[in-house]
Amino acid sequence: MSSLPSRSWVEISRRSIAANFRAVRDLVGPRVEVMPVVKADAYRHGAVEVSRILLSQGARWLAVSSVEEAIALREAGAAARILVMAGCLPPERQALLDYDLTPVIHSLDELRVFDQLAASRSVSPACHLKIDTGLGRLGTLAGADEILAAIRSLGNVRLEGLMTHLATSADYSSGQTEAQMAAFDALCAHLRHAGFLPPLLHVAATIPVAYGRRQAWYNMVRPGHAIYGYVSPVRGPAPPRLLDVKPALSWKAAILEVKDVPEGALIGYGGMFRAPRPLRIGILAVGYADGFPHRLSNKGKVIADGRLVPILGAVSMDLATVDLTAAPSLRPGDSVTLLGAEGHASIGAQQIARAAGTISYSVLCGISPRVKRLYV
């Protein structure tokens, strides 16, 4: 089966992943640890292979969402420190110790439970504590004195890091980022004065790195989107962007059939498109089951023979139809580019996201596992 041609596939550039990591590292400098985020299967770029590339470039930390994601990396041979950011269920706590994982703890009760587990195993694992400074999701809302008392009570667990998550870092017209950082800084000052400030402090994801919000870098940053070649647009009076990265992934689909249809022909479910003139159409082997957004129906584009051509009618589960009138040389078995560059034409994840009414993260993470990954 592995020798059969692919219906839809992505090509991921090892060189681009490596270059993007180096670009972040060079920007923040040697005193700031770069912890790439490889959750959600490295934004569907393939966490195992992407992690190998990053470790070959000197990455010492990787960040994932879940224990399950971390175990997959360990079992694939990843020897780096792995931070599990989005919590763990009670049955998963033992695995944190079994696989030498570093959890982010989100409440003081959870911190005490983890300390008791460590004592029962006679080990001294590290953890990071997340502070909810205003995002309103995971993270403790406890006050500085309460947090200090909890740290002082630890018998086995080492509190290695303190972190928070910014809610509006891309909006320079909002004061929320400054308020969150002020709250984080105040807590750090309180712990520092008491002699209990953890050695690692991290707040910044891609946007604060890319736009040079240096006060948010502390001594560790957590780039995700940038590793894969994207920096989301910002709003308000933002400073110049300092980070240059390039998309690492292109997405292609095979043409299953090419045929000529007459003027007035209806195409796709619901007859969403009526041909205004005779057209040559191509039926692509890709649909929303592959992660190609249904909301691109009748308004998205693909690249065919180096030209942008429109999607006609509905994107269905397994198929999409495009206008190949301007690309008459294409035949069944040839391919079109759904995301990437071909000739002088290009389509990025952010462009697809605008057309589909979503965000570029969703476009990348939505690419289905049934789409084959090829590393080039």
Question: Does some domain include residue 239?
Answer: no
Question: Does some domain include residue 240?
Answer: no
At which residue do the structure tokens 């950082």 appear?
181
Q: Are residues 100 and 181 in the same domain?
A: yes
How far is 263 from 252, CA to CA, in rounded Å?
Answer: 29
327, 279 Cβ separation under 8 angstroms? no
Q: Are residues 73 and 186 in the same domain?
A: yes
Q: Are residues 218 and 333 in the same domain?
A: no
* pLDDT at res. 6: 86
Question: Does some domain include residue 2?
Answer: no
Question: Does some domain include residue 8?
Answer: no
Q: Are residues 213 and 307 in the same domain?
A: no
Q: Are residues 284 and 223 in the same domain?
A: no
Last residue of some domain: 197, 228, 259? 228
For residues 69 and 2, the model is more confident at: 69
Q: Does residue 179 surpass a pLDDT of 80?
A: yes
Q: Are residues 344 and 221 in the same domain?
A: no
Q: Are residues 153 and 273 in the same domain?
A: no
Question: Does some domain include residue 10?
Answer: no
What pLDDT digit, counting tens, does each position of 237-248 carry? 999 999 999 999
Question: Does some domain include residue 112?
Answer: yes
Mean per-residue pLDDT of the chain? 96
Q: Which domain holds residue 342?
A: 249-375
- The pTM (predicted TM-score) of the whole model is 0.94
Q: Are residues 161 and 291 in the same domain?
A: no
304, 286 Cβ separation under 8 angstroms? no
| Amino acid type, 338 | L
Q: Are residues 222 and 288 in the same domain?
A: no
Q: Are residues 303 and 264 in the same domain?
A: yes
* pLDDT at res. 361: 95
Question: Does some domain include residue 13?
Answer: no
In order, the DSSP letters of 168-219 are -TTBTT-SHHHHHHHHHHHHHHHHHHHT---SEEE---HHHHHTT-GGGTTT
Q: Are residues 70 and 211 in the same domain?
A: yes
What pLDDT digit, counting tens, does each position of 277-306 carry? 999 999 999 999 999 999 999 999 999 999
Q: Are residues 113 and 221 in the same domain?
A: yes
- Number of domains forming the structure of the chain: 2
Here the CATH number for the domain that contains residue 294 is: 2.40.37.10
What pLDDT digit, counting tens, does each position of 181-229 carry? 999 999 999 999 999 999 999 999 999 999 999 999 999 999 999 999 9
* pLDDT at res. 2: 55
Q: Using 50, 70 and 90 to split pLDDT, how confident is the model at 4?
A: low
User: In a 10 Å sphere around its CB, with 0-12 CB exposed, 13-18 middle and 19+ buried, how is residue 305 labelled?
Assistant: middle
What pLDDT digit, counting tens, does each position of 150-160 carry? 999 999 999 99
Here the CATH number for the domain that contains residue 131 is: 3.20.20.10
* pLDDT at res. 1: 43
Question: Does some domain include residue 11?
Answer: no
Active site residues: 39, 269
